[in-house]
Structure 1
Amino acid sequence: MTIRRIIVIPDPRLKQPSAPVEAVTDEIRQLADDMLETMYDAPGIGLAAVQIGVMKRILVLDVSREGEDKRPMVFINPQIVWSSEETSTYEEGCLSIPEYYEEVERPARVRVRYVDLDGKAQEIEADGLLATCLQHEIDHLDGILFLDHLSKLKRDRVMKKFSKVARREAAG
């Protein structure tokens, strides 16, 4: 397993949709292992392949609490097939937007269809933190950041700050 570098805004890849995974191969399974290792190291509870610069529709997550056994999950080509009208609000953060957190309202429950590491079609219904995390990571696969769910003023302020940091690092 390899810990990969996580890309951060304003990297333009984060705004591009990811391509479907054609087949679950050993290479895809290795990518999933690397993504889990990277996510745990960060530390985070979810990671989409685009966040390590791989433009494939794969995400990993683990919403187990501190002190509990790890429960890593891998979703290949995930898609939300149903979402509740009822909403919930969670404070979200993102490994590609370090140290920035904001309340985001999303559907409280979702049903997600995906392929597992054995190449088998699966479906999961989720609520609570798992539902929020799945929606956040699937957004990444569609080129959407959690910032896109905020007001234009908040989004512009955060993008300006991170663009300044990126320019300083490029010059530096």
Structure 2
Amino acid sequence: MTIRPLVILPDSRLRLVSKPVERITDEIRTLADDMLETMYHAPGVGLAAIQIGIDLRVVTMDVSKSEAEGERQPMVLINPEIVSSSEELSVYEEGCLSIPEYYEEVERPTRVRFRYMNLEGATVEQDADGLLATCVQHEIDHLNGVLFIDYLSKLKRDRVMTKFKKAAKREEKTA
């Protein structure tokens, strides 16, 4: 397993719509392993393949509360989609590995039903609420080129973009 470099805002790849995975191959399994390793190392609770520069509809997540190695509950979602969502909304403070050290409250449906293919190629449907529901929605948004800052006011979103564009320019000058 390899820790891969993260794609950071304002990189335009974060706005790409990811392509469906046609079939589960050894390359997809390796990608999933690398994504989990990268996610745990960051550390984060979710990662979409586009966040490491791969425009495929692959997501890794682990919303278990424990840091202990033996208690991890990794999930790999291939071609995930939201099947239904509750009208009831809840607010969670979200962050993103591609927008480091920035957190903001986002309102999303409280519960979702989602469908995905697992690494064995089986289609799975699952209900989620709480952090899992928020994480699933956040990561599927990534696959569609949507970032959590898109749910913020224009003023807040513009401030974040300006901050990260300036940081990227500073990074270029020192590189």
Q: TM-score, normalised by structure 2?
A: 0.97
| Consecutive aligned runs of 4 or more in structure 1 exceeding 4 Å deviation | none
Q: Does 1:17 align with 2:2?
A: no
Distance 2:129 2:76 in 1: 17
Residue of structure 1 in register with 2:153 after alignment: 151
Deviation at 1:66? 2.7
Residue of structure 2 in register with 1:65 after alignment: 65
Deviation at 1:155? 0.2
Deviation at 1:8? 0.4
Q: TM-score, normalised by structure 1?
A: 0.98
Please give the per-residue CA displacement for 1:79-129, whole angstroms capped at 9, x wherever unaligned.
Answer: 001000001100000000000000000000001111000011111110000
Distance 1:117 1:124 in 2: 16
Unpaired segments ≥5 residues, structure 1: none
Q: Percent identity?
A: 67
Unpaired segments ≥5 residues, structure 2: none
Distance 1:19 1:144 in 2: 14
Letter in 2 for 1:16: L
Residue of structure 2 in register with 1:54 after alignment: 54
Number of corresponding residues: 172
Q: Does 1:36 align with 2:25?
A: no
Distance 1:60 1:19 in 2: 16
CA RMSD between the two structures = 0.7
